[in-house]
Amino acid sequence: MPTRQEVSYFGAGPAPLPTPVVEAGARAFVNYNDSGLGLGEISHRSPAANKILDEAKANLTTLLDIPDNYEILFMQAGGSGEFSAVVHNLVAVWVERRRRRAEADISKTNAEKAQVDELVFQRLQKEVEEELKLDYLVTGSWSLKASQEAARLVGAKYVNVALDVKKANGGKFGTIPAEETWSLTPTKKEGGKGSAFVYFCDNETVDGVEFQSFPKSLEAQGQDAEDERLVVADMSSNFLSRKVDVRKYAVIFGGAQKNIGVTGITIAIVRKDLLPPQTATPPAALLHRLNIGGLPGPVVLDYATIAKNNSLYNTLPIFNLWIAGQVMADLVTAFGTQRVSGQEEIADHKAKLIYDVMDKYPQVYHVVPDKSVRSRMNVCFRVHGGDEVKEKEFLAGAEKRLLQGLKGHRSVGGMRASNYNAVPLENAQKLVKYLEDFATGQ
C-alpha cells in the first residue's frame, strides 16, 4: 500500500489538498479544539462556526485584496449552481434598474399612482422583450454549459453567445479568437442598450484553456451604469492561483474542490451595489407578471438573502468551510505581503516545467490548446497523436510510478495533468521526469 507522500495525484477535481490540512482536518472532524464534538457536528450558528466564517473571509480578503465594496458569500450547489444563480440575480438587477428608471420618468407626468404602476409595467415588458441580453464567451465545456443553463432559464432569444470558439476553430475548443471578433451587446456609449452581464470562464478545466489576462473589451467604459458591462467570471479551477483585480468584476465565483478545499462549498464575491439597499430585488409579483423564465429563483441562490444572513441562511457545512479557511490561512502565512502573487510564481513555474518537456518532444506529445491560451492549471495533451495503445501504455507506466489522475475528461479523452496549488513542486518534477523517460524509451 503506498503512503500519501508516495502518491503524486493530478486529478482535476476533487483535487489534492495540502497534507497538513488533511491531517488537521482528520483531528478536527473527531474533536474540534477539545470541545468533544467534531466539526461536522457543531451548529453552524455557534460562536465557533462564526469565528471560522469570519477568519475565512478575512484571509480571502487579504489574499485577493478584496475592496470594502464587495461581499464574500459562502454558498452551496457548486459552480454549476452558480450558472443559475448568476442569471437569477443579475437579470433581477437589470429589471430593477430599468424599473426604477421607468418609475422616475413616468412619475414626472401627471399620471395617478395606479396609472404609473401600469405604465411602468408596460415599459418594462417592452424593454425585456426588445433589449434583455445576456452575453456569454464560450471558450470551453463549462462556459458552454453555463450558456445553456441561461437559455434554459430565460429562453435562448435572450442569450447572446458573443464568442463561440468552436465556430472559429473547426468545431473544437482550444483557442480564444481576437477580441475584435467578439459580438458583445453594444453599451449605450457604443450606440446600444447594453447587456445584463458578460460571462466567461477564466480557466476551462476540460479543455485546458485559460484567459491570460482580463479582456480589454470588458474594461470599464465610464461611471454611467448604462455604459458598464457587469463582468461575471467562473474561477472555479484557477481560484487563488494568480493575482486578480477584483474591482474589474461584478461577480467572481468558484467551487472549492480544486484549489481551495473539498466539495460542498462555493465562494461568490459580489459587488455590494448589486445588493440591497443599493439595488433592491424587484418584487416577486412583478417578475411573475413579466414572465421571465426562472425568476425569481431559489432563495438559497439569492445573493441578497445569503448576504443579509452572513452566509448562514441555511445550514452551511462548517467542516468544508473550515478546510477552505485553513488552505487560505496557510497561503497567507506562507506568502505574507506577496499574498496570492507568491502562489502565482509557483503555479507558473510548475506549468512551465511540464509544458517545456512536452514541447521538447513534439513527436510524442501534442498539447491540445493553442500555446497562447494554455492553462497553468489543467495541462491537456495527447500521446503519439492520440494513439489508443500508446496512451494506455503511458497511463500504465504513470501508475507504476504512482503518478495518478492523468486520464483526460471522458468527453474529450487524452491526458490531463491538473496542476493545482496543492500539487507540490516535487510532484510536478516527478511528472516531468516520467514525461522525459517515456519520450526517450527509458
Same domain, 256 and 353: no
Question: Is the separation of the CB atoms in 256 and 13 below 8 Å?
Answer: no
pTM for this structure?
A: 0.96
The tens digit of pLDDT for each residue in 10-53 reads: 999 999 999 999 999 999 999 999 999 999 999 999 999 999 99
Q: Can you tell me the mean pLDDT for 306-312?
A: 97
* CA dist 178 → 149, 183, 205, 217, 442 (Å): 26, 11, 21, 10, 42
pLDDT of residue 189: 86
Same domain, 287 and 354: no
Range of the domain at 430: 339-440
Q: Which segment of 63-72, 177-186, 224-233, 411-420 scores lowest on mean pLDDT?
A: 224-233
d(CA 34, CA 18): 23
Residue 131 domain flag: yes
Please provide the distance, in angstroms rounded to a whole number, between the alpha carbons at the two ends of the chain: 25
The C-alpha cell at 93 is 438587477
Residue 295 domain flag: yes
Residue 326: exposed, middle, or buried by beta-carbon count in 10 A (0-12, 13-18, 19+)?
buried
pLDDT of residue 268: 98
pLDDT of residue 190: 87
Same domain, 383 and 418: yes
Sorting pLDDT into bands at 50, 70 and 90, what band is 223?
Answer: low
Residue 20 domain flag: no
Same domain, 307 and 343: no
Secondary structure of residue 374 in the 3-state scheme? strand
Same domain, 230 and 142: yes
Sorting pLDDT into bands at 50, 70 and 90, what band is 226?
Answer: low
Same domain, 369 and 305: no
The domain tally of the chain equals 2
Same domain, 68 and 157: yes
Asked if the model's pLDDT at residue 378 lies above 90, the reply is yes
Q: Which residue would you say has higher pLDDT here, 107 or 348?
A: 348
The tens digit of pLDDT for each residue in 322-352 reads: 999 999 999 999 999 999 999 999 999 999 9
Same domain, 173 and 84: yes
The tens digit of pLDDT for each residue in 42-89 reads: 999 999 999 999 999 999 999 999 999 999 999 999 999 999 999 999
Same domain, 311 and 347: no
Residue 373 domain flag: yes
pLDDT of residue 220: 83
d(CA 118, CA 132): 20
Residue 312 domain flag: yes
Query: What CATH number is given to the structural domain containing 209?
Result: 3.40.640.10
The tens digit of pLDDT for each residue in 114-135 reads: 788 899 999 999 999 999 999 9
Among 319, 353, 368, the domain-final residue is 319
Same domain, 176 and 261: yes
Query: What CATH number is given to the structural domain containing 427?
Result: 3.90.1150.10
Residue 15 domain flag: no
